[in-house]
Amino acid sequence: MSSSVKIAVCPGSYDPVTNGHLDIIRRAAKIFDKLVVGVVGNAPRKAGHLFTPEERVGLIEEALQQNGVSNVEVQIFRTLLVEFARDCGATAIVKGLRAISDFEYEFEMNQLNRQLADDIESVFILASPGYSFIRSSGVKEIAAFGGDVSELVPPHVASALSERAQRD
């Protein structure tokens, strides 16, 4: 692949992917030639994760197929983010910002990542107004109590959450 091809990674836990994530992914995919969604790998259930990394990848891939986004692929990574970005040939890390409360954390992550690799730029996309309140943890909590998450996640993710809530 030629070096003029602009590749970015869009990392996260995606436990599970929400409509807010998909908004950022779709918009980032229009800016870059190729976008690699990086799902941070972890031991199942570690750090309170509901879905395994493989399950999270499957949920994202199904959502992308439904949206007809073609220049996006999804990978699990178990390294530093900047190493993952390098492995992908990416020159940018894309993050979504929902509110001021996200800024402090993302500012710190940006400084750390720049310390590790100052040739990889972090690019921040502001959440669309309708998605600025959606976070995976909130979605999981609503679903665990049997609440309606149909406006917050794609239908297949809502089904996976409901199935998981009934199982646990």
Only one of the segments 8-16, 57-65, 68-76, 117-125 lies at the binding site for ligand PNS (rule: CB under 6 A); that segment is 8-16
Query: Nearest approach, Cβ of 34 to ligand PNS (angstroms)?
Result: 19
Stretch of 48-56, 108-116, 119-127, 147-155 contacting ligand PNS, by CB under 6 A: 108-116
Task: Give yes or no for residue 122 binding ligand PNS (CB under 6 A).
Answer: no
Per CB under 6 A, the list member of 7, 9, 10, 13 interacting with ligand PNS is: 13
Q: Name the residue nearer to ligand PNS (CB basis): 1 or 100.
A: 100
Phi, psi (deg, nearest 5) at residue 40:
-65, 130
Instruction: Tell me how many degrees the CA angle 55-56-62 measures, rounded to the nearest 5.
Output: 90
Q: Which is nearer to ligand PNS, 44 or 70 (CB)?
A: 44
Q: Which two tokens stand for residue 54?
A: 């493989």
Burial class of 65 by CB neighbour count within 10 A (0 to 12, 13 to 18, 19+):
exposed
CB closer to ligand PNS out of 82 and 158: 82
Phi/psi of residue 120, nearest 5 degrees: -105, 120
Tokens of 105: 């954390």
Comparing CB distances to ligand PNS, the nearer of 13 and 91 is: 13
Q: Does 143 bind ligand PNS (CB under 6 A)?
A: no
* Site membership for ligand PNS, residue 81 (CB under 6 A): yes
Q: At what angle do helices 155-167 and 53-67 cross, to 10 degrees?
A: 150
* Member of 69, 76, 109, 165 binding ligand PNS (CB under 6 A): 109
Give the closest residue to 135 by CA, choosing from 102, 91, 93: 102
Nearest CA among 120, 95, 92 for reference residue 107: 95
Query: Where does this chain bind ligand PNS (CB under 6 A)?
Result: 11-13, 40, 80-81, 109, 112-113
